[in-house]
Structure 1
Amino acid sequence: MIADVLTWWSRQMLELVPARFARPDPSAVGALLVEPYPRGDGIRLVRRQAGEETVLGDVPLRRNGFGDTQDTGVATDPDGTLDADDDAGLRTALSAAGANGAGGMVLLRLPAGTALQRDVTLPLAAEAGLDRVLAYEMDRLTPFAADDIFFSWAVLRRDREAGRMQLRLSLVPKAPLLPLLETLRSAGAGPRAIEIRGASPGSARPLRIPLAHERPASARQERRLLLMAGGCCAMLALLAIVLPFILQSVAAHKLDRQVAGLQPRVDAVQALRRRIAGSTAGGDLVSTERRRLGDALGVMAAVTRVLPDDSYLSDFTLRQGVLTISGQSPGAAKLIPAISSDSAFSAPAFAAPVTRIEGQNTDLFSIRAGVTR
């Protein structure tokens, strides 16, 4: 189905090309036309150049039909008639007529009415290989086998709704032409095609039947366009597959560059987070230890608040929530009520007997109390 669509598309594109830009037929510009005599005893050579035709002369072939050559030599008559009777002579005559200057384009021109024609209807799907289809169906469509004729065709119309196409088949029997063709080939001027004027009613263009079934120029051009269109489709399909990966790679590369540019900031933020996390962990540890052991500074402030100004400490110990203080005071017995009055302490008591210092009116004391906060 894709091939059919591409063939249709290329044909539509060709139809849109203006005639002045279309590739001209080389044979319409320059060619050597070989016209056989009706009796088969000679040929007329006509040069076509720039669309104009010039009769170069006649070449009598002293033969019985297009066969047995008689040795009479080669000559150029004063009236312009070229005379040849063997391969060497015919080669010389063709060279003198400019066959070599025709760029190898030699056509065998036959009179009107030589070609047999009939209209044929085939499935539209057969258009891609009409050469093979017509050769296979030739014995059914005509009284001849494909190997016994030269044939060509022209598409008349296409019915896409019905899936069928109508074409005109043109053919020429090979047998009457084979001796002349063999003679021309042996002389180095084998024709490429048969040309018949007036074979197509209503058409000024002559009928062209290839002698070797090459693809016509238009078909070759369609083939090239089809290959180009297929290549473009393949490239577009490949691009559709590869392009997302290319865009993704470009976007990933761009993101990598952006991440690389932001990496120093990210490292600084992560370092700050680690410092904050470390500080928080240290603060939590200190808070836990304070709750477990007590706040030494807070306990010291509370002791300083409850002790009289004339008392001073020589030892301060806070261990496992138990406060032990030692020192001197003029009235050690008053210290227990003073410490008990503060809610920061519980169950204050002397840890050792109070000792009086002789001559100084001072008591040595040691008090132990629990710390509530």
Structure 2
Amino acid sequence: MSSATQSLQPLLDNVRRAWRTSPMPRFFQWWGGELAALLPVRWRYAFGGGAAWYLLEKQGDDWQVRRAGDSLPLATWSDSLDPAAQLVALSDALRGVDPEDLHIALCLPSTTMLRRSLLLPIAARESLQQIGAFEMDRQTPFRAEQVRYDVRDTQGPAPAGRFAAELVAVPRQTLDPLLERLRAVGIGIDAVDMASGYDRLGVNLLPPEQAPRRSHPRQRLNLALAAACVLLVVMSLGEWLHNRQAALSAMQSQVDSMRAEAQKVAALRQQLQDNAGAAGFLADRKLHTPSALSLLDDLSQRLPDDAWLERLSIDNAGQVGFQGQSKQAAKLIDAVKGSPVITDANFQGTIQADPTTGKERFYMVAQLRKPDTKAKATPAHTGSAR
């Protein structure tokens, strides 16, 4: 036993003790018995599983064997037969029984048994054999080494903190010759008990050193099958998780692809909005900004006949620059004042006389009027710009 198992042993003992003292074992035993009673006897034998107890009894000079709970014997043979014949009779009676489930109990008549009722503390459930040896001197005229005994929990009513038990004993001088005879014949038994109706009482007076050693291949197979089932469940869960992860990955890929497409659509929408905004801005600016033709028309009407323009420019900020010649350039400020197209007209630089034409050369700058500051047009002078 490893150190880890030894350290857990007290805890396991406490859990086992708490389970045995609780009402749950009795409930499950009663419930299982009630459910089993609803099945036909043949079905109970077929599906019962576990240990199949057969009772071996000595009737005078004869032996008989019957299944626990049945009243009719399966076989009867004389004890005077040779051991081989007795084994054949027993084997014929137990033919068809799984050797792993087969359990034989030697049942003694109640007249040979000594029974005493006990009320024991709850803590004594884990040491019934020691309690039986202690109670033997008090409850019977025998000493513990003179008898074969067992103590069973009767599940009967008991005061708080105690449980009902029964001490069952048989003198060794009665039991040991029977055990010697069975060993001589070659019949192995699993328990020594007392007959109770058609069944057994539920004690085991067989000495532990004489208990047969059994192999349990089916139990190992069941453990292997249980381990395989656990492995299959784990693999199924792993496969389920893998499928879920694969589905999640596929969905994530689709989401990423849709997100990329959505980003492209959003970029195209933004580009469309920008283009629409730019087009709207240009259309709005074109709508609310005076055209060069209207500017030329307004200047042609406002400048006197002796003035003409040599150059006209309009930049993106709406600043207008025009250069030309006039006989009286200083009066041009008053001429363009009140224009619905331009405002803030001023000379840039100085007015210079042109000796070739005899006129004054000028350069003026102005600002195109905005829509909200556009004034009502004033009567314009007649004439044309040259």
> Smaller-chain TM-score range?
0.5 to 0.7
Match of 1:48 in 2: 66
Match of 1:223 in 2: none
**Alpha-carbon deviations, 1:82-137, whole Å to 9, x = none?**
3xxxxxx4x224225435653665443423222221222345576xxx5x421132
Q: 1:196 to 1:308 in 2, by over 3 A?
A: closer
State which of 312, 334, 337 in structure 1 corresponds to 2:334.
337
1:107/1:192 contact within 8 Å kept: yes
Residue 110 of structure 1 pairs with residue 93 of structure 2: no
Q: Which amino acid aligns with 1:56?
A: W
Q: Which amino acid aligns with 1:353?
A: Q
Q: Which amino acid aligns with 1:112?
A: S
Give me the whole-angstrom Cα distance separating, in 2, the residues matched to 1:371 and 1:124.
113
Q: How does 1:126-275 map to 2 (within 5 A)?
A: 130=125, 132-143=126-137, 144-145=143-144, 149-151=148-150, 153-157=152-156, 162=160, 164-197=162-195, 205-210=199-204, 211=206, 256=252, 259-260=255-256, 262-263=258-259, 266-272=262-268, 274-275=270-271
Give me the whole-angstrom Cα distance separating, in 1, the residues matched to 2:325 and 2:254.
72
Q: 1:269 to 1:96 in 2, by over 3 A?
A: closer
* SS of the residue 1:140 aligns to: helix
Aligned-residue offset at 1:57: 2.0
* SS of the residue 1:142 aligns to: helix
2:63/2:77 contact within 8 Å kept: yes
Aligned-residue offset at 1:307: 0.7
RMSD: 5.2
Q: 1:255 to 1:48 in 2, by over 3 A?
A: same
**Alpha-carbon deviations, 1:159-182, whole Å to 9, x = none?**
6x9354323332324454224313
Give me the whole-angstrom Cα distance separating, in 2, the residues matched to 1:7 and 1:125.
17
Unaligned runs of 5+ in 2: 1-14, 96-101, 138-142, 212-222, 370-386
Q: 1:337 to 1:303 in 2, by over 3 A?
A: farther
Give me the whole-angstrom Cα distance separating, in 2, the residues matched to 1:139 and 1:265.
88
Residue 316 of structure 1 pairs with residue 296 of structure 2: no
Unaligned runs of 5+ in 1: 38-42, 60-81, 83-88, 216-226, 291-295
Q: 1:188 to 1:363 in 2, by over 3 A?
A: farther
Match of 1:11 in 2: 29
Give me the whole-angstrom Cα distance separating, in 1, the residues matched to 2:94 and 2:278.
105
2:87/2:185 contact within 8 Å kept: no
Match of 1:367 in 2: 363
Identical-residue share of aligned pairs (%): 21
Structure with a larger share of its residues in strand: 1
Give me the whole-angstrom Cα distance separating, in 1, the residues matched to 2:289 and 2:355.
30
Give me the whole-angstrom Cα distance separating, in 1, the residues matched to 2:309 and 2:345.
19
Match of 1:40 in 2: none
2:347/2:365 contact within 8 Å kept: yes
2:77/2:86 contact within 8 Å kept: no
* SS of the residue 2:118 aligns to: strand
Residue 57 of structure 1 pairs with residue 78 of structure 2: yes
Q: 1:369 to 1:259 in 2, by over 3 A?
A: same
Paired positions, count: 292
* SS of the residue 1:56 aligns to: strand
Q: 1:111 to 1:307 in 2, by over 3 A?
A: closer
* SS of the residue 2:112 aligns to: coil
**Alpha-carbon deviations, 1:288-338, whole Å to 9, x = none?**
xx9xxxxx9648467435312577644234578864312467986653322
Q: 1:204 to 1:303 in 2, by over 3 A?
A: same
**Alpha-carbon deviations, 1:13-70, whole Å to 9, x = none?**
4144141535578345xx54345x6xxxxx52224376423542242xxxxxxxxxxx
* SS of the residue 2:203 aligns to: strand
Q: 1:298 to 1:17 in 2, by over 3 A?
A: same
Give me the whole-angstrom Cα distance separating, in 1, the residues matched to 2:136 and 2:171.
11
1:117/1:168 contact within 8 Å kept: yes
Give me the whole-angstrom Cα distance separating, in 1, the residues matched to 2:257 and 2:119.
73
Give me the whole-angstrom Cα distance separating, in 2, the residues matched to 1:5 and 1:339.
116
Aligned-residue offset at 1:271: 1.0
* SS of the residue 1:113 aligns to: helix
* SS of the residue 2:90 aligns to: coil
Give me the whole-angstrom Cα distance separating, in 1, the residues matched to 2:258 and 2:191.
77
1:347/1:370 contact within 8 Å kept: yes
* SS of the residue 1:371 aligns to: strand
Q: 1:120 to 1:176 in 2, by over 3 A?
A: same
* SS of the residue 1:263 aligns to: helix
Structure with a larger share of its residues in helix: 2
